[in-house]
Amino acid sequence: MHKLLVANRGEIAVRIMRAARELDLRTVAVYSEADRDAPHTYLADEAYLLGPPEPAQSYLDRTRLLEIARRSDADAVHPGYGFLAESAAFAEDCRQAGLIYVGPSVEAIRQMGSKILSKQIAARAGVPVVPSYHAPDTATLAQQGPAAAARLGYPILVKASAGGGGKGMRMVEQPTDLLPALAAGAREAQQAFGDATLMLEKYIPHPHHIEVQILGDHCGNRVHLFERECSIQRRHQKIVEETPAPAVDEALRQHLTSAALCLAAAVDYTNAGTVEFLVGPDGAFYFLEMNTRLQVEHPITELVTGIDIVHQQLRIARGEPLAFTQEQLSQRGHAMECRLYAEDPAHGFLPATGRIRVLREPHGPGRRIDSGIALDQEVTPYYDPILAKLISYGATRQEALLRMQALLRDYTILGVTTNRQFLLDVTTSAAFAAAEIDTAFLDRHFADWQPAAVVSDEILAVAALGELLQRRGQLPSAAATPAPAAPDIVLTTPWHHYDGWRIGGSV
């Protein structure tokens, strides 16, 4: 393995490229027309244009990606997260093209990628799954549903079989409400997915979303890197994560990690993966899904275990055995991550766009920033709105929390609306400090959040000073920034040259 193509963009592409260069691999970036000035594009040894901004014509274009891999003489591909990261077809493409795919086997991706199959495999491996009932058709469901629901035990969830994102989903607390809920759910499912098929699932009240990080090599060694608490979610997407999970005691940790390893063994899992669980308030846990890729929130595990997960992914992919055993691993200290998104928490978390006009990323002890943005970069509507990950570390949860609050206060970004202040309010709340976290946390405490920054006379005074200094050229002004050049096909500076020219480097 000598040259790695990173089939992704943003902070994760930057993160992977840094790790690859540390391991003396050359790096190939791919970029869409919207990303020609993005950090991941200029950090790589070589950069190739994929196509127009739309993901289908750029980062999801498998044919074009393989063509670039061939042209750049890359021998390995890292998919990152999102885009093609869980596409068995892409992993298969890479294998057939003779490329090393930095991830698990095609078969493991396929097995864990199916909602139904993954749960069957988990159940067979002795891993608890959320009890559910599937009927072959709507008529059978109406007939058998009441008995099945009684077996599962109320409250139950009615869910669209085809769906996700909460559409067609309703909670039913008592038997008399079941049939009306089935009728309404079927209508909604038909409308949202074109398929009225529903399933019943036991409802787990106030669960924690807790996941276990796994690493497996090609020599039969497999370890876990403990758990992460990921319950703070909006629209079913995590925004704050931490490890160790305050709700997990040593006994539960033992159960969760061995269940995760059992499942990994059942699909002969290699490379990095994550097994997600719902954990009830009583400590009962249920397998949710397995993510067959690098997770957004992997850095917090790196900070408490001292293991660089991306290094390990690359070492495993090139055939090296794990250099450590389970017994050598431990959790030291506490780490937290906040995801900085270009979105407006005061208006339903709608994605925001704009040009980054002011950017200060504060560094210091116990602070790590995995960022994919740069000053003057345009935040476009085409991709996931993640801008950067703010990560803190401390000897205790309290120390990590204080550092996270300071990091969120000091991080400065203007020009695009972000959730920075929302994250600051979440992490400074009494409920978060007390670790009273479950998946309903944001709905319970922050449903009607507003920035609530009263513009006092003092703020007006500071604004006037800002405006005066800007007029005198002592502060950067928005108008002074030139418009971006139209995207072209070939980047012309030597840093982006196709032959991979690098100062002091041998080609």
348-352: Cβ within 8 A, 24+ apart: 349/234, 349/235, 349/419, 351/381, 351/385, 352/379, 352/385, 352/416, 352/417, 352/418
Q: Which is nearer to another protein, 301 or 427 (CB)?
A: 427
Instruction: Name 217's Cβ contacts closer than 8 Å, sequence gap at least 6.
Output: 270, 316, 320, 321, 322
Q: Which is nearer to another protein, 120 or 353 (CB)?
A: 353
Q: Which is nearer to another protein, 11 or 45 (CB)?
A: 11
We find the least distance from the C-beta atom of residue 390 to another protein, in angstroms, to be 12
We find the least distance from the C-beta atom of residue 171 to another protein, in angstroms, to be 22
Question: In the chain, count of helices (H) and strands (E)?
Answer: 16, 23
Using CB under 8 A, list all residues that contact another protein: 165, 191, 235, 342, 347, 349-353, 357-358, 360, 380-385, 408-410, 412, 414-415, 420-421, 424, 451, 453, 455, 457-470, 474-475, 477-478
CB-based burial label for 385 (10 Å; 0-12, 13-18, 19+): buried
We find the least distance from the C-beta atom of residue 373 to another protein, in angstroms, to be 14
Q: Which is nearer to another protein, 171 or 358 (CB)?
A: 358
Residue 403 a catalytic site member: no
Q: Which is nearer to another protein, 5 or 34 (CB)?
A: 34
Instruction: Name 52's Cβ contacts closer than 8 Å, sequence gap at least 6.
Output: 32, 33, 58
We find the least distance from the C-beta atom of residue 37 to another protein, in angstroms, to be 18
We find the least distance from the C-beta atom of residue 423 to another protein, in angstroms, to be 11
Name the residue among 274, 264, 267, 317 with its Cα closest to residue 78.
317
**What is the C-alpha to C-alpha distance for residues 242 and 232, in angstroms, rounded to an integer?**
10
**What is the C-alpha to C-alpha distance for residues 112 and 265, in angstroms, rounded to an integer?**
12
**What is the C-alpha to C-alpha distance for residues 407 and 369, in angstroms, rounded to an integer?**
9
Check 15, 26, 36, 293 and give the catalytic one: 293
Residues 25, 44: contact at Cβ < 8 Å?
Answer: no
We find the least distance from the C-beta atom of residue 227 to another protein, in angstroms, to be 27
Q: Which is nearer to another protein, 52 or 131 (CB)?
A: 52
**What is the C-alpha to C-alpha distance for residues 144 and 119, in angstroms, rounded to an integer?**
22
Residues 229, 245: contact at Cβ < 8 Å?
Answer: yes
Give the catalytic positions in this structure: 293
